[in-house]
Amino acid sequence: MKRSPVALLGAAALVAGSALFSSPAAAGGHGQPGSPRTVADGLLTPLKLAVSQHGRMYVSQNFAGELTRILPNGTKTPVVTVPGEEVGGVSEHRGTVYWTTTGEGSAKVFAQRPGRGPQQIADLFAYESTRNPDARTTYGFRDLPQACAAQFPASSPASYTGIVESHPYATLPAGRRTLVADAAANAIFSVGPRGQVRTLATLPAVGTVATAEALQAQGMPACAAGHTYYFEFVPTDIERGRDGSLYVTSLPGGPEDASLGARGGVFKIDPRSGQARKVAGGFVGAVDLALLPDGRIAVAELFGGADGAGQVTMVRPRSSYRRTLDLASPAAVEWKGSRRHGSLYVTTDTFTGGEPAPVGKVQVLSFGSHRKHHHRR
């Protein structure tokens, strides 16, 4: 029923087309950065990024099937290349690099410790095949009259339950375990030191009231107007806050551009109960987030902004604060710094001009003094 999140991103890029042009970040004001500094370019679909304490960057070039190490001076070196598969979900902790691979009937997590070669630490497709955490979740319309539901074609039914599918999209080292946001399984998985996998949270469907215009645009029967369509959650990134709570971006299923509204959100998850609650919304193509020391959250909106060119949006939960940085097609954001100053690393130009091309960049924006509490990663 569902296409790969990466395929959906590519399709949305084609819709945006030439609107995906680069524009400078907003400058000035307390807590606002200056212009971005480019540290690397020539990247193909840099959808995920990790930055070590020493400034070494790891970028997944997903469509190329390559994980690339980038030194602070911009020198690039392939870490791993997997022809015919997608490489993504990169993270780093104390020199150990984590990443994921996704192929036909395959979804795995790897780690490479200093001085060692790559090691597979989990087979998520095998786990998904036997457990399928969202098997009991109903997606689509839940309350349509039978006469209306019967008008939907068999290839696109009015409702369905979670299918067996795995697409690990983000990883997060957490002590002896590795957390994984699986965009196709609609779940957060926890991988133990011996490769054992368990479901930390099964994420809720995201409801949107269907309008007559939206139904016509999607080729759906008009009788469903006014009913709520429940999209798949599609988690795209995961970070841990100071209190141990998890913060996850949601790129709801369906059109990933703004044609059905700004439906993306940031959710806070209790790792003990697995319960999720929305803390920020109104994003278009929410694919990554970073927690800043002053309590703000930076969200990469791949297709955000008035023209769909993309932006990074800074929000503060439980407040009306909202600021945007105009960066072209941003796919990943990472924060590195102290309470007083730091840098926001962003991969940009991910889908410039529609068709994916090796024009992606890693850019750095420097921030000044920060106050309030610090989010520990």
Q: How confident is the model at residue 31 (pLDDT cuts 50, 70, 90)?
A: low
Contact 82, 67 (CB under 8 A): no
**Domain region containing 78:** 5-367
Strand order in the sheet with 276-283: 235-240, 246-250, 264-269, 276-283
Task: Provide the percentage of residues in the chain whose pLDDT is more than 90.
Answer: 82
Give me the phi and psi of 222, to 5 degrees please: -65, -20
335-349 average pLDDT score: 90
377 falls within a domain: no
H or E element in which residue 236 lies: strand 235-240
135 falls within a domain: yes
192 falls within a domain: yes
171-190 average pLDDT score: 98
286 falls within a domain: yes
374 falls within a domain: no
375 falls within a domain: no
Q: How many domains does the chain have?
A: 1
pLDDT at 184: 98
57 falls within a domain: yes
Round the average pLDDT of the chain to a whole number and report it.
90
Lowest mean pLDDT among 74-78, 237-241, 352-356: 352-356
376 falls within a domain: no
Q: What is the pTM of this model?
A: 0.89
Q: Domain of 348: which CATH number? A: 2.120.10.30
Is the per-residue pLDDT at 203 higher than 70? yes
pLDDT at 372: 40
Nearest Cα neighbor of 178 from 113, 259, 105, 257 is 113
Specify the amino acid at residue 215.
Answer: L
- How would you classify residue 48: left for phi > 0, otherwise alpha for psi between -120 and 50, otherwise beta? beta
Q: How confident is the model at residue 9 (pLDDT cuts 50, 70, 90)?
A: low
